[in-house]
Amino acid sequence: MTTQNKVLFLGKNKIEIDNKAFYYDDFTSYKTHRFSGVSLKLKLKSGKTLPLTCNDNFCDSLPLSKFVDDFEKRATDHPHIKKIKSFGERKIGLYISIVLTVLLFLSLGYQLIYNEEMTLSSLFSLLLVSLTALWSGIEIKSYGRNSI
User: Per-residue pLDDT tens for 95-124?
Assistant: 888 888 888 888 878 877 887 676 777 777
Residue from 39, 60, 64 nearest 51 by CA? 39
pLDDT of residue 81: 92
Lowest mean pLDDT among 56-65, 71-80, 122-131, 133-142: 133-142
If you average pLDDT over residues 30-37, what whole number do you get?
84
Burial class (CB in 10 A: 0-12, 13-18, 19+), 68: buried
Phi-psi domain of 127 (left: phi exceeds 0; alpha: psi -120 through 50; beta: other): alpha
Domain edges within the chain: 8-83, 87-135
pLDDT of residue 102: 86
CB of 13 closer than 8 Å to CB of 5:
no
pLDDT of residue 143: 46
pTM of the entire structure?
0.66
Element (H, E) at 73: helix 62-75
